[in-house]
Amino acid sequence: MMGCKARVSAVFLLVSAIWVCGVWGDAADRRGASAGASDDKVDVGVGTKSDAADGKVQGVVGKQEAVSIGPRAVFREVEKGWREGTPKPFERHLGKGKVRLDFGEGGPRDGLYTKSQAHYLITEYMKKTPTLEISMVKVSDDVRKGARPYAYLERTHRWNNKSAVSEVIFVGLRDEDERWVISEMRAVRTR
């Protein structure tokens, strides 16, 4: 019988293998992103991707000119959002293309969603499953061309206001218009 840590490790290996093999590939990348960026100002930083990865960028620029912060910073904002129970800290990283979501029982099933749909579905799932604990347990933040940074978050939440449930949340990023945006978010229960 597997212990909790062994189950989590097995889930990490399985999700990593699937991600690397491209089974969870990003259909939005193959179809292309939707057009139409807003002229609104967003605090996303300026500089090169290597500057972003080194944490050297900051500032307020127009969305069309935006260069994202590094992957690790995006993952920290995702972790913060789950901790606070709102996607607000990471909503700017949902991008123009579709986002693949799969939260299993109680949340959206495997599918591609627009930014506004993803925001709504994540918000509703967070309301149903308040976070008790969350931590980032693995990060791959390679920023080379063609890289697909990802992170695993280990989360314990309340299910139906009763029992505590543990899950691993996989967050994958893609490069969209020189910004790191969330391409997918998946949750797998570990107990």
Class in CATH terms, 69-189: alpha beta
CA pseudo-torsion sign 24, 27, 33, 34:
negative
Alpha-carbon gap, residue 30 to 166, rounded angstroms: 33
- What is the Cα–Cα distance from 114 to 112, expressed in whole angstroms? 7
pLDDT tens for each residue of 111-170: 999 999 999 999 999 998 999 999 999 999 888 777 899 999 999 998 777 788 999 999
Identify any residues that bridge with 169 across adjacent strands, giving them in sequence order.
153, 187
Domain range list for the chain:
69-189
Q: Name the pTM for this structure.
A: 0.66
62-73 residues labelled b (16+ CB within 10 A) or e (exposed): ebeebbbbbbbb
The pLDDT tens digits for 62-106 are 444 444 589 999 999 999 999 999 999 999 999 899 999 999 877
